[in-house]
Amino acid sequence: QVQSVESGGGLVQAGGSLRLSCAASGSIFRRYAMGWYRQAAGKQRDLVAQITTGGSTNYADSVKGRFTISRDNTDNMLYLQMNSLKPEDTAVYFCNTAPNIHYFWGQGTQVTVSS
């Protein structure tokens, strides 16, 4: 099945940290850059972090310096370490290939940051 499964979200106070994980089917994972997307209530889904198959990374300005994306090509896993979280980081987080989408969207994982 060509789908990704996200986990690791939760409720955290501002300034706290969370680590998100994404398990993705391998045939696609190893061929494409991957990304973490987020969608806040009533807003569009945005790409916030991207990593190439070789490990080069790129971040949205809103998360630069606070979030770190990484991948394990052996286990087909994608990670997002989120530090210094802010209330505006509250959203459902998804993983997928980036910038073009190749997986069916999963259910995502909810991140809620309280002030």
Given a cut of 90, whether residue 2 has pLDDT beyond it is no
Query: What per-residue confidence (pLDDT) applies to 17?
Result: 98
26's enclosing H/E stretch is helix 26-29
29's enclosing H/E stretch is helix 26-29
Query: What per-residue confidence (pLDDT) applies to 1?
Result: 58
Over residues 18-48, the pLDDT tens digits come to 999 999 887 888 899 999 999 999 999 999 9
Strands (E), the chain: 4-7, 10-13, 18-24, 34-39, 45-51, 57-59, 67-72, 77-82, 91-97, 109-114
Q: Tokens in use for 25?
A: 């089917």
Over residues 69-107, the pLDDT tens digits come to 999 999 999 999 999 999 999 999 999 999 999 888 999
Backbone angles phi, psi at 26, to 5 degrees: -75, -30
Given a cut of 90, whether residue 60 has pLDDT beyond it is yes
